[in-house]
C-alpha cells in the first residue's frame, strides 16, 4: 500500500494544554471564535428583523402572502447560517460545564434564537383576524416548518466543552506523550497512528495531522480510534514492564 500524503494542519496549536492543565484556546482560536460570534449575532438580528417585517405585513390589507413567505425563507436562511457559524465558534472556544445554565445557553443558543425568530410569527399568524382559515393553514404551516428546521439546526447534539477537550487531549498525551493525532476528510475518529488500518486505506488520498482540538475544530471529530487506543495502551504497558525489569536488574 502506497504511503499516504500527510498534511499538517496550519497555524498554532489550538491550546496550551499539558497533562496537568485545563484546556485553553489560543489567542488565534479565541479571535476566530469572536469573529464568528459577531457574524452570527448580526445574522440572527437580521433574521428577527425579517420576522418583524413579516408580522407587520399581517396587519396590512390586502394580505401579501407572497412577501410573507419570502420573508419567512429569508428568516430561515439567516437563522440557519447564524447557528452553523455559532456552533463552529464553540468548537474553537468551548464553554465550561461548571455553570450548567451558561453552558446550555452558549451551546444551544441557536435553538433559543430559532424560537425567538419564528414562534411570535406563528402565534401572530394563528391569531390574526385578517387571515382566513386557508391563509392561516398555509402561512402557519410554512412558519411552523421553518421553526422546526431552524430549531433542529440550532441544536448542538454533542456540544464541546472545556472539560471534554481537556479529557480527550490528556488521554492522547497519556498514551503517546504528545498532543498529536491524525484524521481524514470523511473520517469520524481521530487516530494516534498514521499507519492505522482504519485510516490507511486505498481510498484515502491524504491524512491530516494536528492536535485533538484541531480535529474537533476543523472536522468536528470527537472520538479516538479504539484500534489506536488499544495499540497504544499495549505499548505503554510493554514499556512499563520493560522499565520495571531494568530497575530490577539494576538493583541486583
DSSP 231: H
Give the pLDDT confidence score for residue 67 in this predicted structure: 97
Q: Report the distance separating Cα 51 and Cα 30, nearest Å.
A: 31
**Alpha carbon distance 67, 178 (integer Å):** 57
Q: Are 95 and 106 in contact (CB under 8 A)?
A: yes
Q: By three-state DSSP, how is residue 177 classified?
A: coil
What pLDDT digit, counting tens, does each position of 113-170 carry? 999 999 999 999 999 998 999 999 999 999 999 999 999 999 999 999 999 999 999 9
Tens-digit pLDDT string for the chain (252 aa): 556 778 888 654 445 545 457 899 999 999 999 999 999 999 999 999 999 999 999 999 899 999 999 999 999 999 999 999 999 999 999 999 999 999 999 999 999 999 999 999 999 999 999 899 999 999 999 999 999 999 999 999 999 999 999 999 999 999 999 999 999 988 899 999 999 988 888 778 889 999 999 999 988 999 999 999 999 999 988 877 676 655 666 665
**Measured on CA atoms in the order 244, 245, 246, 252, is the torsion positive or negative?**
positive
Q: Is the dihedral of CA 157, 162, 166, 172 positive or negative?
A: positive
Task: For strands 181-183 and 189-190, give the pairing.
Answer: unpaired
Task: List Cβ neighbours of 109 (8 Å cut-off, separation of 6 or more).
Answer: 86, 154
Amino acid at each position: 500500500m502506497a504511503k499516504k500524503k500527510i498534511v499538517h494542519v496550519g497555524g498554532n496549536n489550538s491550546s496550551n494544554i499539558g497533562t496537568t492543565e485545563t484546556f485553553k484556546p489560543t489567542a488565534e482560536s479565541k479571535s476566530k471564535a469572536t469573529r464568528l460570534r459577531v457574524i452570527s449575532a448580526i445574522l440572527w438580528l437580521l433574521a428577527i428583523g425579517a420576522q418583524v417585517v413579516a408580522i407587520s405585513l399581517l396587519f396590512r390589507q390586502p394580505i401579501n402572502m407572497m412577501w410573507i413567505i419570502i420573508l419567512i425563507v429569508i428568516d430561515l436562511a439567516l437563522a440557519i447560517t447564524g447557528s452553523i457559524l455559532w456552533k463552529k465558534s464553540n468548537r474553537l472556544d468551548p464553554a465550561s460545564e461548571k455553570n450548567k445554565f451558561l453552558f446550555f445557553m452558549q451551546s444551544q443558543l441557536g435553538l433559543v434564537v430559532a424560537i425567538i425568530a419564528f414562534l411570535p410569527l406563528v402565534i401572530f399568524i394563528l391569531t390574526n383576524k385578517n387571515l382566513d382559515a386557508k391563509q392561516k393553514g398555509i402561512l402557519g404551516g410554512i412558519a411552523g416548518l421553518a421553526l422546526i428546521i431552524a430549531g433542529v439546526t440550532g441544536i448542538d447534539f454533542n456540544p464541546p466543552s472545556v472539560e471534554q477537550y481537556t479529557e480527550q487531549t490528556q488521554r492522547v498525551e497519556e498514551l503517546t506523550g504528545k498532543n498529536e493525532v491524525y484524521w481524514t476528510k470523511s473520517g469520524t475518529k481521530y487516530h494516534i497512528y498514521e499507519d492505522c488500518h482504519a485510516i490507511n486505506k486505498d481510498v484515502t488520498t491524504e491524512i491530516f495531522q494536528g492536535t485533538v482540538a484541531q480535529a474537533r475544530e476543523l472536522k468536528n471529530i470527537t472520538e479516538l480510534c479504539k484500534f489506536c487506543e488499544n495499540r497504544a495502551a499495549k505499548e505503554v504497558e510493554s514499556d512499563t514492564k520493560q522499565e520495571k525489569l531494568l530497575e530490577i536488574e539494576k538493583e541486583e
